[in-house]
Amino acid sequence: MASLLWFNLAANKARQKAKREAQRSIFLRTKQTARNAANLSKKAAIATTKAVKALIGALSALMGGVVLVAALCVIFMVAAVIA
């Protein structure tokens, strides 16, 4: 009877140890997944920022070109009127 009781205690301890190790493994994987998600989010924010900067640069260049073309049109109209 004593050996059966000892066997049950040993089995319970082994079961508890396996459960703790499994929970720890799950916790570590969850923690790593959270880190990866945070890094991915940070990279996406950086990429979005770069894209917005490029878009703003392109739009400002386009507006500058439009202003230049409008100024040239005015100059040509004045020159045509004078001539």
Output the CA–CA distances (angstroms, integers) from residue 13 to 45, 56, 76, in the order listed: 48, 64, 94
pLDDT tens column, 18-58 = 999 999 999 999 999 999 999 999 999 999 999 999 999 99
CA 78 – CA 70 distance, rounded (Å):
12
pLDDT, residue 83, reads 76
What's the pTM value of the predicted model, to 2 decimals? 0.56
Whole-number mean pLDDT of the chain?
Answer: 89
The whole-number pLDDT of residue 67 equals 87
DSSP state of 7: H
The three-point CA angle 66-71-74 to 5° equals 125
